[in-house]
Amino acid sequence: MLRIALPNKGRLADQSRDLFAEAGLNVLANGERALVASLGDVFEALFVRAQDIPEFVADGAADAGVTGLDLIAESSRELVELTDLGFGQCRLAVAVREDASVCSVAEIPGGARVATVFPAVTSRFFAERLRADLEIVPMSGAAEVAPHLGIAEVIVDLVSTGSTLRVNGLREVETILTSTARLVTSPAVMAPNGNGEAGEKARALDDLVAALTSVLRARGQRYVMANVPRSKLEAIKTVLPGLNGPTVVDILNGGDQVAVHAVVPASAIYRKIAELKALGAQGILVTRIERLMP
């Protein structure tokens, strides 16, 4: 049974659980504070801090894990990214006081102090920008208060909407990286066996990736079915292009009517229904999609 490390709290934890549940891998724990739980009948979930997951996976305590790209980068551990899960989006940004004259990294005065919870990523970033003259001040949290306490003149912190920066009188200067949740494993797990083939764990993780991405691919999509005049099929193809064109099915005793099925972005449903009705479509049905395989 493979062990998957999942965040134990916060938005990443909630969104990870929701995604796995939609993929048919419900978390079955003995209690809310359980550290381990069954994840379907194939995997075991291990609940730990999101920032510890890269270490757990790299050291083999877990076979795979879900955590943010920002935390993966900060860990500096060698990991294999299996897929970008898309949720938990934020950015790691350089920020200064609102009243500062700094508008770029190049304009930060030499000797300035940079407070951050991400010292490794921050050090690499400024080294690449040839700003070794800046002092990195590691913090355990709340970096946004550092400029007001005289601890630092610059911060590097996670930004989602930017509201926290504005509330604290700060403004963004530059983005270091954009982060989303990733499913990762170790090179050892993905290494081929003696026959040069993927090992059992690697194959199981491939199946997991397929299940999770099928759910992600289905989000924001709808399945549309309608009966339309056969004479309107050419026009229907432009209204419902689908993934590879609409599926057309003959209707028993349907006369000149045929059934068309297609996958359509949810954001376009209102317009598509209006266009179908204008072409004489009847019995229009729109349903959600649980999974969508390529």
CB atoms within 10 A of CB 29: 15
Q: Number of C-alpha atoms within 13 angstroms, CB side, residue 22?
A: 20
Q: Which homologous superfamily does the CATH classification assign to the domain defined by 2-86+181-218?
A: Periplasmic binding protein-like II (3.40.190.10)
Q: Which residue has the tokens 């690499």?
A: 124
Q: Which fold has domain 90-179?
A: D-Maltodextrin-Binding Protein; domain 2 (3.40.190)
79 three-class SS = coil
What pLDDT is recorded for position 165?
92
Q: Between the ranges 31-40, 109-118, 138-147, where is the mean pLDDT highest?
A: 109-118
269 vs 253: CA distance, rounded Å: 29
Contact in structure between 68 and 180 (CB atoms under 8 Å): yes
Helices and strands in the chain: count of H runs, count of E runs: 10, 16
Query: How high is the pLDDT of residue 49?
Result: 95
Instruction: Summarize pLDDT for 213-256 with one digit per residue, the tens.
Output: 999 999 999 999 999 999 999 999 899 987 677 899 998 887 88
CB-CB contact of 14 with 3 (8 Å)? no
Same fold? 2-86+181-218, 221-288? no
Question: For residue range 38-89, what is the model confidence (pLDDT) as tens digits?
Answer: 998 789 999 999 999 999 999 999 999 999 999 999 999 999 999 999 999 9
Residue range 171-220, pLDDT digits in tens: 999 999 999 999 999 999 999 887 777 789 999 999 999 999 999 999 99
Class of domain 221-288: alpha beta
Q: 257 versus 42: which is more confidently predicted?
A: 257
Helix (H, G, I), strand (E, B) or coil at 183: strand
Q: How many of the other CB atoms lie within 10 Å of CB of 226?
A: 26
Is residue 68 a contact partner of residue 179, using CB atoms and an 8 Å limit? yes
Residue 142's pLDDT is: 86
Domain range summary for the chain, segments of one domain joined by +: 2-86+181-218, 90-179, 221-288
Is the four-CA dihedral 250, 252, 255, 257 of positive or negative sign? negative
| Helix, coil or strand: residue 38 | strand
Residue located via tokens 């419900």 = 26
Q: What pLDDT sits at residue 287?
A: 96
